[in-house]
Amino acid sequence: MPQSGRSVVFVDGARTPFGKAGPKGLFAETRADDLVVKVIRELLRRNPELPPERIDEVAVAATTQIGDQGLTLGRTAGILAGLPVSVPGFSVDRMCAGALTATTAVSGGIGIGAYDVALAAGVEHMGRHPMGEGVDPNPRFVSERLVDPEALLMGKTAENLHDRLPHLTKERADAYAVASQEKTARAYADGKIQPMLVPVATRTANAGWTLATADEPPRPGTTMASLAGLKTPFRPHGRVTAGNAAGLNDGATAALLAAEEVADELGLAKGMRLVSFAFAGVEPEVMGYGPVPATEKALAKADLSISDIGLFEVNEAFAIQVLSFLDFYGIDDDDPRVNPMGGAIAVGHPLASSGIRLMTYLSAEFAEHPEVRYGLTTMCIGLGMGGTVIWENPHYAKGANA
């Protein structure tokens, strides 16, 4: 397999519970920067072998970089988390793939020797900062028809994807959504998700202090019947509903990455080994198709084929987006290798934070499946992009569980 530079490993990942955006959500009165600080501190607590001064960079993503998600969040969050002032930081914006991009950015630095150890993170408080708050899109986008006007509303891009692929029906999207809820409920029942979560103390004027310990969005017991009658807000008689799409959410994630030789030196765990990554663009009005060309590029860079991938973590911004990816590769809608612990339709999608949520899930799945050598994390990205990272399982043992 083609490879250059140092081997990069995903050491550990953690996240806050994800809350529902809005005045009644878990984190309605909690600052966004405090959420990401909480997760960074938790990673340091979980990895006491790492001297904080060995961290060379902190990259924190947010889609809406304003208010408590602004001011070079990588630097401010590092200071607030108690890192030495010698540790620098920066902010990232690639919409939904913010945390994924923060990870690939620092991994590239590790690969060429600029960093030994780095933190990547993502946060989105959609209750405080709805997507698009404070932005001013250039009028040329519409006046010169550089993009279809529907490209600026993600739900409409999902409807457009249904149009392009009419065999991927609303019924299939709803069935996929039901399965995501069921898998998430089963993962919670089996105690698989809880170790990834960082409890967060929250306070509201009405309820006082509480402790957030679980995701707020899941709807266990969801059925096809309960989804059938939901409104289609993006188009009359459409196919995209609140039931087969991720909601508006608040939450933060963070990951610790290192050169493999440095992880060995410090005695840090190795959850995954980075193989390749790629980003690709598509027509913005069908942005959900982005994972397909991104995955094709990432596979080519790794000299792998889709048949080499044993586990898939695909962000569920919309069910149709996942189905279009599976359809391209001839993978069944209910393939057990795909999102085995459920996904964003159930737990939520706080935009820039979700990429590391996918990675943390995949790392846990690798530990359970030593027979799987390769897995991938992939997601669609607003304005017509996709991002994919291919990972190798350090626990791989040929013939395991055969």
Catalytic residues: 96, 349, 380
Amino acid at the residue 292: V
CB 199 within 8 A of CB 212: yes
Q: Give the alpha-carbon dihedral of 178, 179, 180, 181, to 10 degrees.
A: 50
Residues 165, 333: Cα–Cα separation, whole Å: 14
Burial class (CB in 10 A: 0-12, 13-18, 19+), 281: middle
> Which two three-digit tokens encode residue 108?
């590239």
The three-point CA angle 259-261-262 to 5° equals 65
393 half-sphere exposure, CB direction, 13 A CA radius: 26
Concatenated DSSP letters of 210-225: EEE-S-S---TT--HH
- Give the residue carrying structure tokens 């002032």: 85
Amino acid at the residue 19: G
Amino acid at the residue 273: R
Residues 30, 14: Cα–Cα separation, whole Å: 18
Query: For helices 319-329 and 154-164, what crossing angle results, to 10°?
Result: 40
